[in-house]
Structure 1
């Protein structure tokens, strides 16, 4: 395939090719990604299990999207196509500011109970999945559909939200709790996609939110059915409100939002 510039392809056929290629790579990684890790790591514990998860478990989340981006846009442009060339410091600053309300809420309502093996637990349940899932779900699936295949924001984001919500159904131990998990994580996927777009496709912004929020769940004990907790859901919604306020204010200083007008429904980013 001829290398494309880091802009949406002009023809409808090429845009559909980008969309189908992104969907195919996403489904492949989402389906088989952790199988090699489970086969290799077995009952490993501690740092060896963490290292195996980073390299074997989540390696495909980075390698295959980068390979696809290299084919479509050229090797030098591949990191930019996945938003990896954005500012890590900006991502961290926005993430800390946006999730501070959740940290404050947890500190006031739940005991601080860090796990015994805090480093490995936070690596395996916060840092590594936060990075890997955002690259796969936001940078590849949503990003390629919205940014390059020129789907509208809502169609592209809702496809990712459906997959993301389904991947978290296990977090509910009853049908009602599973549905709440699906809705809340699906909503989070839409918000993370919006943050990714509005921060000019800087994947480190949603990564920071994802990692920090996951980490808080590991450091505080809320209850056995966290997704049924009105307080927990209220804190999630508070994070959304704060992140929207911060992002809209920043967009005004940059000259306007990316997702506006027809870009909500079709035609790709407006800026």
Structure 2
């Protein structure tokens, strides 16, 4: 599966997908239709699928224009049927949807919003997780609880290590600056922070990351690790409580 990053607004990423064997073309979280239309026209592609991870306008704001222009099928969470524009295919945990020769499996990952989902393409080794999991971070808890978000993150963490992670924003540099305050002795994290700084100085994206890389370096996925618990003064505590403390610190960072 071809995957192309389409920058939007100040730090959003929209993703353009194409299944070469069938010619199916999808877009993930089109907050703005204009850069999507430009990317499609440049490649001579016709949009067939619109995938939405959650209802926030910077992820769904382009739905109506793209649907009207192309007739593409709008796909999203059943729980958000009243909040996602033009949605016609409603899915929930464990359900699948065909995208040409590819199959996407839906993961219900609430926390950032109450109806948030992710689309996992096992054959393409890719997951589109919106604002639940970021490179070195996770989304703010606007509509969910720490317990919900921790459950969602551990669900994503359980995917194969070589799964490419495509998230909704370019937040990695600020996330790295925070992460090293939690685990200053994590050598993998220190090396990654240096690499991220260099990439951003060159104007390069830091996405995709991988599940394996996040497991080694993302403090929000590591709230059950003894070294992280000790670092925040909560040795042996419930991982949900440790996660909540890390999220609180990030909110005030």
Give the TM-score taking structure 2 as reference length: 0.25
Which is richer in helix? 1
The structure carrying a bigger strand percent of its residues is 2
TM-score by length of 1: 0.24
Work out which structure has the larger RCO, using CA pairs closer than 8 Å and 6 or more positions apart in sequence. 1
